[in-house]
Amino acid sequence: MHTQRLNLSVLSPRVGLSALAVTGLLATAACGTESGSDDSGSGSVGTRQATGITGKQWNVESVTADGKTQDAPAGAHIEFGKDGKVGGNYGCNHFGATAEIEGDTITIGDDTFKTEMACTADGTMGFESRLGGIISGSTFKAEVNDDRLTLTTENGYTVKLTAEKPAELYGTKWNVTTMTKGAAGGESGVALASEAEGKVHLTFDKDGTVRGQLGCNKVTAKATVGDGTITLGAPGTTRKMCSASLMDTEKTLLKLFGGTVKYQLKGSTLTLTSENGPGVQAVAAK
């Protein structure tokens, strides 16, 4: 019988595993917009099966264990790399581990590590414990049906996933979910304060501007998109005063402006990373 492992971190929080670093775990990640090429073609059945699974962002739809099905929170996803690694997000924290795919069998190592954020949305941490306990150190039978993937353990636990259609950088409302105060230095990512959840977002337009909400005030600025980088101009904002937590969030986000940030677009996730200042991760609004 599979034993759930609810505490998956094998790193001390002092190591400072960044949420942005975990996002970049897979070798399949690339800065900027991915080409989305598919290496289909000839090969063994095992190779074709692996090709249909690797290099994609699979959004978790639900988990079924002990006869109970639990829907996944927004942002929960899994990515299998071609380099023998798996990574993703449980719905709050990012995780990574080793993984082996042979035919329709996927074995995930028990060397799972994860970030150490605490999220406040109802049911998020409970789902994270359940999904994490099922994934770590487990062997699955994988069934791929077009854009759907079902993972099933020996004792009948199932994880249902859907392939994410890549979002466009331009014209998408990017809801910010995670911030780091020093991505380059490896500081841990932190979830937005509960008061700021759903109130922080950015939209990039093809006319070379970005607009959005910082939690309290609206913001607009020039945005010049390059090869894996975005140069953000000086921000123009409204002048409202809000609670201390919202103003702290806003102050951190404003440090992204007036400089160049690296960006990474994978599926429905956008990561912005400045060299010495804050970083953010955002998901495409549905």
pTM: 0.57
Mean pLDDT for the stretch of residues 145-160: 95
Measure the CA–CA gap between 31 and 264, rounded to whole angstroms.
5
Tokens of 43: 């090969």
Measure the CA–CA gap between 70 and 73, rounded to whole angstroms.
9
CATH number of 172-284: 2.40.128.270
pLDDT at 39 over 80: no
Closest CA to 162 of 232, 76, 82: 76
DSSP 133: H
Measure the CA–CA gap between 177 and 279, rounded to whole angstroms.
11
Tokens of 86: 């798996």
Contact between 263 and 5 under an 8 Å Cβ cutoff? The reply is: no
Measure the CA–CA gap between 87 and 113, rounded to whole angstroms.
9
Closest CA to 39 of 47, 31, 173, 154: 47
Q: What's the confidence (pLDDT) of residue 275? A: 80
Measure the CA–CA gap between 193 and 178, rounded to whole angstroms.
10
pLDDT digits (tens, 9 = 90+) for 94-150: 999 999 999 999 999 998 898 888 887 778 899 999 999 999 999 999 999 989 999
**What average pLDDT does the chain have?**
81
pLDDT digits (tens, 9 = 90+) for 180-207: 765 444 445 677 888 888 899 999 999 9
Closest CA to 91 of 64, 37, 129: 129
Contact between 117 and 132 under an 8 Å Cβ cutoff? The reply is: no
Domain with CATH 2.40.128.270 in the chain: 43-163, 172-284
> How, if at all, do strands 148-152 and 173-180 pair?
unpaired
Topology classification of domain 43-163: Lipocalin (2.40.128)
